[in-house]
Amino acid sequence: MTQTTEPPVTTESAEPTALAQARTSVDPELRRAVDALPASIRRVARHHFGWEHADGTPATGNAGKAVRPALVLAAARALGGEPGQAVRAAAAVELTHNFTLLHDDVIDRDATRRHRPTAWTVFGDADAILTGDALQAQAQLLLAEDPHPAAPAAVARLAACVVELCAGQVADVALEGRDPREVTLPETLAMAEAKTGALLGCACALGGLYAGADAAQVAALDAFGRAAGLAFQLIDDVIGIWGDPARTGKPAGADLAVRKKSLPVVAALASGGPAADELAALYGPPGPGKEGPAELEAIALAVERAGGRDWAQAQAADQMARAVDELARAVPVPQSADGLLSLAEFVTRRGH
């Protein structure tokens, strides 16, 4: 393991104030919703959110950055609403996000998340699946019991988003099982939009609904969130290949070691020419022995030579430009969009 001599940049230092403020205002609502669950499900959920250890003792957990709730509140503010009234919607979006994490971890057999053991490794598949199911229902219940006039429309929008998230995860699982040379860039982008962009778009749309925005503004907010989400995924994929392990907390080239069909890799394979062929030859199933850093660096270099890194960075910039355009369409007063824009820039800068 190489050690960096620079102090690791903590995420806190770079974090927009909107993010910490959103956590402060949404956290009590989120905890109330989780604590209202039956005891057998509550303990799994509280562990998942990092509030409890497996034995039920309190943990000073890491429940994640809460980017999605922050987007709900920032979108409400940007459209002239009172963010305080959208706190339930923000908590519902965060519950929904965490339901998908619980199921994705079972499906992908991921053993750690946020530096902690995942729910299925601690409580078994059954409890992890059922806790995810209950969080989905609890999110809908939170919205359905919200007296705010936008709540019924928010229920429908969030439910439709969940269907899209599921389709995105189905597509992701299917892609990972296929020959890398047969995976196309458009389908990988569509998968990333459904899996990542849809909920960021939904978060922004819900904030707009709660601020009384009209249909065109809500659609533009959704498009803003989707574009920002795609930009985030592109940068996250770049970090998954070339990121500094001291900053990402993941070993270098982790995505390459499992032959993940991330966007830069698919773009590189689809680029044609000898560099793509060279990468395709390297990107078959890994051999039985553990690959060393040299092998992974060779693959990373092949992705770069085939243009995957440049493409992803240019594409992320394009998506951010699209996001800014959509935001201008949604928000009549430019300076009130500052909060949303700084959140989008934050997530695409660092990947979360």
Contacts to its own copies by CB under 8 A = 37-38, 40-41, 99, 103, 106-107, 124-127, 129-134, 136-138, 140-141, 144-145, 151-152, 155-156, 159-160, 162-164, 166-167, 169-171, 173-174
- Pick the closer one to its own copies by CB: 219 or 301: 219
Q: Is 24 exposed, middle or buried (CB count within 10 Å of its CB: 0-12, 13-18, 19+)? A: exposed
- Pick the closer one to its own copies by CB: 128 or 213: 128
- Structural element, H or E, at residue 293: helix 293-305
Supply the DSSP string of 185-201, one letter for each residue: HHHHHHHHIIIIIHHHH
Give least dist CB 223 to its own copies, A: 19
Q: How many CB atoms lie within 10 A of CB 56?
A: 11
Question: How far apart (Å, rounded) are the C-alpha atoms in residues 58 and 306?
Answer: 49
- Pick the closer one to its own copies by CB: 125 or 179: 125
SS3 167: helix
Give least dist CB 33 to its own copies, A: 10
- Pick the closer one to its own copies by CB: 64 or 132: 132
Give least dist CB 336 to its own copies, A: 29
Kindly state the tokens that stand for 222: 């959704």
- Pick the closer one to its own copies by CB: 156 or 258: 156
Give least dist CB 167 to its own copies, A: 4
SS3 211: coil
- Pick the closer one to its own copies by CB: 138 or 196: 138
Give least dist CB 136 to its own copies, A: 6
Question: How far apart (Å, rounded) are the C-alpha atoms in residues 326 and 192?
Answer: 19
Question: How far apart (Å, rounded) are the C-alpha atoms in residues 317 and 162?
Answer: 27
Q: How many CB atoms lie within 10 A of CB 305?
A: 17
Give least dist CB 241 to its own copies, A: 24
SS3 117: strand
Kindly state the tokens that stand for 161: 């988003």
Give least dist CB 19 to its own copies, A: 27
- Pick the closer one to its own copies by CB: 24 or 40: 40
